[in-house]
Structure 1
Amino acid sequence: MHRVLLAGAWGRRYAAGPACKGVEGHGRRQARACERAGGATAQVRAVYTATMSKATSGVWDAVIIGGGHNGLVCAAYLAQAGKRVLVLERRSVVGGAAVTEEFHPGFRNSVASYTVSLLQPKVIADLNLAAHGLRVVPRRINNFLPLDGDYLLAGPGRTAAEVARFSVRDAAQLPLFEQRLEAFADVLRDTALQAPPNVGEGSWLRQLPELWRAGQLGRRLHGLEPALRQELLDLFTISASEYLDRWFESEPIKALFGFDGIVGNYASPHAPGTAYVLLHHAFGESNGVEGAWGHAIGGMGAITQAMARAAQAAGARIQTNAGVQRILVEQGQAVGVQTTDGEIIRARAVVANVNPKLLYEQLLSPGQVPSATRERMANWRCASGTFRMNVALSALPDFTVLPGAGDHLTAGIIIAPTLAYMDRAYSDARAHGWSRQPIVEMLIPSTLDDSLAPPGQHVASLFCQHVAPVLPGGRSWDDHREEVAELMLATVEQHAPGFSQLVLGRQVLSPLDLERTFGLLGGDIFHGALSLNQLFSARPMLGQADYRGALPGLYLCGSGTHPGGGVTGAPGHNAAHVILADL
């Protein structure tokens, strides 16, 4: 297996990030360059000014490994409670996969994570992110599916009419379908901001609080009608295609909703469990509108920069260019970390905002990890089948089925016309290494945000599936990255002739690049697949669902914990409250 990450310690053998190496010591010119690149802006330079000698003095209440969005959320809550908090970020800028960077002269974009919907309103309010600069605007159209000679648009007030063009029956079914999904999404929202029942080893007395939490959940589920309880159970176990077949007859309608079942999920829409992934993407909202999608002005980095400001305003310290080599363990307890520069930092709580597999296999030695945890991590499934591109465009693309500029270009443009197409894309990637007819979701955020590109020009995000996290036959993604990038552009070109000629520059991230740059093992955007055996009380494993790790003093706050991936802030919120209860 070609795994650069697993060849060395966290932060030691990654490729260097873009040229924005922190602000301290680089002067105003570098600060302005960082601001243009979506890195550390002038307003938050103070966040990064702590030198390691100052930052490591004394014992911290908490040291957080990784300055991704959940780490920043956790830091902000802990600091608001008066705790001494230090965040260590390996890269030159905080944000994890939610960052905005200049990838071509004059063009900035959200590098990895690329859209807003799942960010928890409570987190936005508690951290007062609007006061720290966050502004989210809605897409005018949620989704645009180019089809063979036709198209489908989905958005507030127009989806039913669009669906009726394909099937009057499906249009009649749509309101009840959306009502059901919303009822189930409400259950997810109720559970997202609390630790799930932590079912594991321990005495009956110790398990009582967990049984009480399980009982609370049971009562919440009991509030649903029996038929709805059965349907919700089905959503956790059946395929997206099976679930959608129960509701709809038209292939474009099934594709519209089925796409959410395979986003970031290396699976066929016919695979059991993909119905839950569909539901996972349905429980979000934007600006108070449930199920809506939005764009953060300035890109996804605007979210994490606002979080960094909130954490710093509360008293947290953030150190960039500070990779962690290992977690310090004394007498079976986590007591601090050692950085890749050899600095020792001691803390009452060591909080890992990284993939659980990375935590237990890279930051701790095998002898420090209980055997049950080692076994679980050996089987922890990380795979998104994801290939990411950002492109600078000289002009907007022109789609054959819906030519000209319009609100449809503010949408998620989904090239995946049928469930059968998605199934073939997965099967092809399994056999060949990448789909030769790939699934592409393209967003053009500059249609909503003119700060990202020069006047009259645009940037586009391409989220592409399916590709194998590890190529078959011992091949390397470094040798095939550009070949696959050309294929992705050609796929868009089939629906928007001339698209490739509009491309002025591009950034290409294979699964291996996502792993190297952001620590996304196998390119997994969720820090672990959203399958039934890796959800809720089993995320990351039974006995660690409450954000407390395998060792005393060790905590997890990343997307590999409940409720899972996406830019939600929920794991960071939940972990902070558990840590505060312990400190």
Structure 2
Amino acid sequence: MQDQQNSPADYKDIDVIVAGAGHNGLVASCYLAKAGLKTLVVEAHETAGGMTATNPMAPEAPDHMINEASIHASLFRLSPIAQELELETKYGLRQRRIDPCHVQLSQDGDESIGMWNDPRRTAEEIKYFSKKDAAAWMDLSNTIDRAMKIGLPLMNTNAHRPSPAAVLRTMGGAIRHARHIPAIVKLMTNSHAAALEEMFESDMVRACLLTGLPFMEFRSDLSSFCMIYLAALQSQGITMFEGGTGAFPKALIRCLEDHGGSVRTGAKIEEIIIKDGRAAGVRIAGGEEIFAKKGVVTAFSPKMVLNHLLPEGLLDHKTAVTAKHIPTASRGIADFKLNIALKGRIEPRRHSEWRRKRGWDADLRLPTLQWATYEQGIKAYEDCQRGEIPEIIAGLGQVTTAFDPSMAPEGHDTYWFWSGLVPFKPNIGWEKARDQISDMITKDSAKYYEGIEELEIARRPLAPPDIEKRFHAIDGSVYHVDPYVTRFGPGRPAFSLGGYKTPVPGLFLSGSGTHPSAGICGMPGRNSAMTAIKNMK
């Protein structure tokens, strides 16, 4: 139950406290509760869900529901979580695939390229721009598909101590796809920009795989690993949840409560309580202490946990230095989100008409649309590193009510935009940059979604300072750890901390800053819970 009024007596005999009610924290709590451990989730915000929360845009547009942060379940279908927790068969979760999930629009003309679940459909559209690029797309798809088949078993296990079954499946995949390994190694060690320029000749095709994946500096070695996202898109597909992204945490809470667990919201944790050298509970703002017999699982920023929530001097010198240098703001770029409530419907009519004339499928209100060119994306990164606001805010826009009309009054829309290519420290400061970037996004979006400026009721921008405040993410990092390739697998969040266990007995890490990834994934929650259960028993 989400209840802020419980008495201290209600929190006696707790086995495990999960700190943070984002989707990974809730996933972890469900597995812990299913294992017979009395589990309490403690959440700072008034609403559970973290970056998967869906809430009204009050007070200006209280009937417009907005996904505050994430919208796509990008990696969730690569895990067994929905089946193991019976989220769809028993607890009411409904998800539908978006296909195509992303569409690249031409700025100068009416053309577009849909990125489909079936790579052959994508290649057919690419042929309009370049037959050579269509063939190259299929080659890239095959290479990335083999890489995912080899590596997927290791995503669903502890990166430091993988299960024997996962190791065997990975070895078997490597043997079956051995002839593709040289191509995989070449791709994954290349720079993002070099790989795209080598494979494709069309700016439109290059742009498809650039501006939505700004993980590392585009020209740095190893940065092309981010295109592994294509494997998720083309294997299980990308889904959204009916009722908004917040339907996911709601289903998890139903599962948790069914197994005897509970959620307490509006309770910010100020310190992890250490007793006899072990994590024994949490101290909440105001001084209340809640104890747990088995331990504490944290499911938010590991940098916050290790640097700010433990008693000073508890960590040994080496671990303390490692924790201090977990990167959260070293790329020069940052994330920016904008939600807009609208008093009418918007549609990218010009590009929709072009597709209809060609007999190409796709309701362009449904997928995310991107329109920055490849060269604009490259330049945007360079501008951001200098603290300058790029000439175009490269990102993804979507009409969320096209997927679920119930999220706004009848005939109204909500619009969601995300960019990962804004400066982390704008030279003009965030007080000015927030409004300037919001205006730029709205103006650019109006070139494609007709009427958006005239129909606006209210807007909710989330710049890095806002993300940090709302989601308790250090430096406003939605990844919790900068997404360098060296900070994945056993290196996430750091090589000595990548197995969910910490040097503090009874304290475990989870969340987007742990293996395997950020995004709506759930695997960090599942993997950390499995590790905690094994250690607690």
Q: Secondary structure at the match of 2:248?
A: helix
In structure 2, give the amino acid aligned to 1:84: K
Distance in 1 of aligned mates of 2:447 and 2:489: 41
Which residue does the alignment assign to 1:282?
A: 230
Q: Would the aligned equivalents of 1:144 and 1:152 in 2 still touch at CA under 8 Å?
A: yes
**TM alignment of 1:158-173, pairs within 5 A:** 158-173=121-136
Which residue does the alignment assign to 1:33?
A: none
**TM alignment of 1:463-502, pairs within 5 A:** 463-472=418-427, 476-502=429-455
Q: How much has 1:534 moved relative to structure 2?
A: 0.9
Q: Would the aligned equivalents of 1:561 and 1:571 in 2 still touch at CA under 8 Å?
A: yes
1:230 and 2:185 aligned? no
Which residue does the alignment assign to 2:49?
A: 95
Alignment counterpart, residue 357 of structure 1, candidates 297, 303, 311:
303
Alignment counterpart, residue 382 of structure 1, candidates 302, 319, 328:
328
Alignment counterpart, residue 160 of structure 2, candidates 187, 193, 197:
197
Classify 1:423/1:186 alpha carbon distance in 2 versus 1 (closer, same or farther; 3 Å). Answer: same
Which residue does the alignment assign to 1:73?
A: 27
Which residue does the alignment assign to 1:20?
A: none
TM-score in terms of structure 1 length: 0.83
Q: Secondary structure at the match of 2:145?
A: helix
Q: Would the aligned equivalents of 1:236 and 1:532 in 2 still touch at CA under 8 Å?
A: no
1:395 and 2:395 aligned? no
Which residue does the alignment assign to 2:192?
A: 240
Q: Secondary structure at the match of 1:435?
A: coil
Q: Secondary structure at the match of 1:153?
A: strand
Worse-matched range after superposition: 165-174 or 400-409: 400-409
Q: Secondary structure at the match of 1:413?
A: strand
Distance in 1 of aligned mates of 2:452 and 2:139: 39
Which residue does the alignment assign to 2:460?
A: 507
Q: How much has 1:138 moved relative to structure 2?
A: 2.0
Which residue does the alignment assign to 1:303?
A: 248
1:127 and 2:77 aligned? no
Alignment counterpart, residue 141 of structure 1, candidates 63, 76, 100:
100
Distance in 2 of aligned mates of 1:278 and 1:220: 23
Distance in 2 of aligned mates of 1:398 and 1:502: 15
Q: How much has 1:520 moved relative to structure 2?
A: 2.3
Alignment counterpart, residue 62 of structure 2, candidates 105, 112, 122:
105
Worse-matched range after superposition: 533-542 or 252-261: 252-261
Distance in 2 of aligned mates of 1:382 and 1:486: 27
Worse-matched range after superposition: 501-510 or 487-496: 487-496
Q: Secondary structure at the match of 2:185?
A: helix
1:151 and 2:105 aligned? no
Q: How much has 1:96 moved relative to structure 2?
A: 0.7
Which residue does the alignment assign to 1:175?
A: 138
Q: Would the aligned equivalents of 1:117 and 1:291 in 2 still touch at CA under 8 Å?
A: no
Which residue does the alignment assign to 1:82?
A: 36
Which residue does the alignment assign to 1:252?
A: 204
Classify 1:432/1:511 alpha carbon distance in 2 versus 1 (closer, same or farther; 3 Å). Answer: same
Q: Would the aligned equivalents of 2:30 and 2:256 in 1 still touch at CA under 8 Å?
A: yes
Classify 1:222/1:133 alpha carbon distance in 2 versus 1 (closer, same or farther; 3 Å). Answer: closer
In structure 1, give the amino acid aligned to 2:131: V
Distance in 1 of aligned mates of 2:298 and 2:115: 39
Distance in 2 of aligned mates of 1:562 and 1:444: 31
Which residue does the alignment assign to 2:267?
A: 322
1:542 and 2:499 aligned? no
Unaligned runs of 5+ residues in structure 2 are 357-361
CA shift digits 1:189-240 (9 cap, x unpaired) = 2111101135xxxxxxxxxx89x79975873464155553233334443222
Q: Would the aligned equivalents of 1:71 and 1:558 in 2 still touch at CA under 8 Å?
A: yes
TM-score in terms of structure 2 length: 0.90
Distance in 2 of aligned mates of 1:545 and 1:214: 17
Q: Secondary structure at the match of 2:45?
A: coil
Q: Would the aligned equivalents of 2:511 and 2:524 in 1 still touch at CA under 8 Å?
A: yes
Q: How much has 1:513 moved relative to structure 2?
A: 0.2
Distance in 2 of aligned mates of 1:49 and 1:193: 34
Q: Secondary structure at the match of 1:368?
A: coil
Q: Secondary structure at the match of 1:79?
A: helix
Identity %: 24
In structure 1, give the amino acid aligned to 2:113: L
Q: Would the aligned equivalents of 1:558 and 1:572 in 2 still touch at CA under 8 Å?
A: yes
Q: How much has 1:492 moved relative to structure 2?
A: 1.5
Q: Would the aligned equivalents of 1:492 and 1:499 in 2 still touch at CA under 8 Å?
A: yes
In structure 1, give the amino acid aligned to 2:149: D
Classify 1:145/1:283 alpha carbon distance in 2 versus 1 (closer, same or farther; 3 Å). Answer: closer
Q: How much has 1:407 moved relative to structure 2?
A: 0.6
Q: Secondary structure at the match of 1:165?
A: coil
Distance in 2 of aligned mates of 1:555 and 1:496: 45
Q: Secondary structure at the match of 1:438?
A: coil
In structure 1, give the amino acid aligned to 2:352: L
Q: Secondary structure at the match of 2:113?
A: strand
Q: How much has 1:399 moved relative to structure 2?
A: 4.5
Q: How much has 1:68 moved relative to structure 2?
A: 0.6
In structure 2, give the amino acid aligned to 1:569: G
Q: How much has 1:52 moved relative to structure 2?
A: 4.2
In structure 2, give the amino acid aligned to 1:141: P
Classify 1:213/1:136 alpha carbon distance in 2 versus 1 (closer, same or farther; 3 Å). Answer: closer
Q: Would the aligned equivalents of 1:295 and 1:445 in 2 still touch at CA under 8 Å?
A: no
In structure 2, give the amino acid aligned to 1:269: F
Q: Secondary structure at the match of 2:83?
A: helix
Q: Would the aligned equivalents of 1:63 and 1:85 in 2 still touch at CA under 8 Å?
A: yes
Q: Secondary structure at the match of 2:495?
A: coil
Distance in 2 of aligned mates of 1:563 and 1:486: 35
Distance in 2 of aligned mates of 1:85 and 1:50: 17
In structure 1, give the amino acid aligned to 2:218: P
Q: Would the aligned equivalents of 1:118 and 1:283 in 2 still touch at CA under 8 Å?
A: no
Worse-matched range after superposition: 513-522 or 431-440: 431-440
Q: Secondary structure at the match of 1:132?
A: coil
Which residue does the alignment assign to 2:417?
A: 462
Distance in 1 of aligned mates of 2:301 and 2:218: 25
Distance in 2 of aligned mates of 1:376 and 1:343: 30
Q: How much has 1:433 moved relative to structure 2?
A: 4.1
CA shift digits 1:118-145 (9 cap, x unpaired) = 1144111111111212111222422221
Distance in 2 of aligned mates of 1:87 and 1:338: 13
Q: CA RMSD in A?
A: 2.4
CA shift digits 1:426-485 (9 cap, x unpaired) = 11122234323110200112112111111111111100232223334xx54234322221
Classify 1:249/1:373 alpha carbon distance in 2 versus 1 (closer, same or farther; 3 Å). Answer: same
Distance in 2 of aligned mates of 1:141 and 1:249: 22
In structure 2, give the amino acid aligned to 1:408: L
Which residue does the alignment assign to 1:416?
A: 372
